[in-house]
Structure formats: structure tokens, C-alpha cells
Amino acid sequence: MDFIKSLRHPLHCEHCEGISEVEIPRHHPSYEITQRCNLDCIFCYSRVAKVEPGYYGDLRPKAITISQFGEPLVAGESEVIRIAKTLREIFGNVRLDLQTNGVLLTEKICREFDIVMISLDAGSREGYLRITKRDFFDRVVENIRMSSGITYTAVRTVFLPGVNDAELKGIAEIAGCAEELFLQPVSLYRENRELLERIDVERAESIGEFLKTAEMLSELAEVRIPGCFIFNLKRALKTFTLEEVMLFHRNAFAEKPRIEREWRFRV
């Protein structure tokens, strides 16, 4: 219970409606640059989604994510920096969060963002190759260390039971230099047959498995879990005991991902 009470949401979740009493919460705005990617991760929801480039969300943001679909840095360092600077010109003192796989990350890019979230779902070169189908593990680890010395850095990993169980401790050790290890439960899409053939769905849907994993990894890194997960967990604990909640299962299956926020413009 002490671990549950000490859980903190990622800094990225600040200003997101999912951590407050909102009937239909929305993620804070995002700017989508591209759906292209230089990896081929078996769990990625961009495999089954389609979005248009541009800004999505309200016009008085406190935080903007670049971006939730695709790998933004394949557009090139100068283009990513141009977009970041333009968004600051439009919106002023807004927090800019970068979501990236870290392969093409540079010091110049890190200096433009308040938070850099680097995806890493394996703790070894072999595991990385199996999950991403690319051989960039060493470069990403180096860039995590580089980013951690420049700006607020979160290593973002997805809990994939049956796929990356043996990799999680290695990921946590790598994340020890960063401000956070942002652990997320997986979302499953029936269109993604490759993942469904390998994932342990029972464990992927288990609240207890996810929380026990977070607690185990917290011995090696500063573990954070999604703010909306924490919000609903605390709400459940007002009615149920911890022992009961640990037996709960969530529905890990989701509809084809799409952006619920309104498309506004492209810079």
C-alpha cells in the first residue's frame, strides 16, 4: 500500500484532463508532424491509425506534445526545431513535450523542449532488435544519457507481458540517469495480429501484474505510471480494498486510434 500511496504521475501528464474530475477527458494538444517512422515496433498503434499532419486541440494550451503518431525526427532536425519555435511564437509560454524513439535525437533538438520522452522497450540489443526490427539500441542508450544532461528526460516503456518481461530490468537500469521511467500498460488492436500472437493478454489486462511490475522497477529507477491510471486507481480504492483491486482486470483492447481533438492548422 505504501508504494501505491507514493505513486506519482509523469510530468507529461500535468495539464491533461485525465488526472481530474472531467467526464470525457482529453489529452492536451499535439502537433503531428508525420506518421513515418524509422522503426517497426510490433506494438505501435501508428500501424493501424491514420492522421493528418498539423495542430490538434484548443487554442489556449498549457502543454503541446510533438507528436503522438509516427517519429517526428524523421522530418529532420531543422524542421522539428522550426515547428517548435513557431509554436512558441504562436502560443507563448507553453510547455513543449517531445515524444521520440531517440534514434535521431540531437543536442540542438533537446534544447528546444521542456520534456523529452524517449521510447525504449528493450534493455538489450537483441531484445531491441526483436521488438523494433532495427539495430539502433546502442545509439538510443547514448542519446538517453545525452538528453538527460540537457533537459527533463523520461524513458517511456510499454509493459508487454510475454514480449519484453526479460528486458524490463535492463530498461530500468538505463533509465536510472533520466528523471523518469514512464511505464505504460499496452493497448491492443485486433488489426495488429503480430502482437496478438505473442502477447500474454491475461497478464496485459491484470492491474495487479502492472502494479507489481512498477513496484519492482522502482528499485532501479524513478518509476511513474499514467496519471489517468493513478486517478482511477485511487477512486477504486475508495470502494474496494487493495487486495481486491489487485485482482481487477482492465480491457486492454481498443478501437482503432484516432485524435479526438479538433484539427486547427499546419505551420
d(CA 61, CA 80): 19
d(CA 167, CA 125): 10
Mean per-residue pLDDT of the chain: 95
What angle, rounded to 10 degrees, do the helices at 168-175 and 207-217 form?
Answer: 40
Q: What is the pLDDT of residue 1?
A: 67
Which residue segments constitute the domains of the chain, with CATH numbers given? Answer: 2-265 (3.20.20.70)
Q: Is the pLDDT reported for residue 71 higher than 90?
A: yes
218-242 tens-digit pLDDT: 999 999 999 999 999 999 999 999 9
Q: Which pTM does this prediction carry?
A: 0.96
127-157 tens-digit pLDDT: 999 999 999 999 999 999 999 999 999 999 9
Q: Where would I find the beta strands (DSSP E) of 41-145?
A: 54-56, 63-66, 95-100, 115-119
Q: Which three cell numbers stand for residue 122?
A: 528493450
Q: What is the pLDDT of residue 80?
A: 98
The neighbour count for residue 130, using CB atoms within 10 Å, is 16
174: enclosing H helix or E strand: helix 168-175
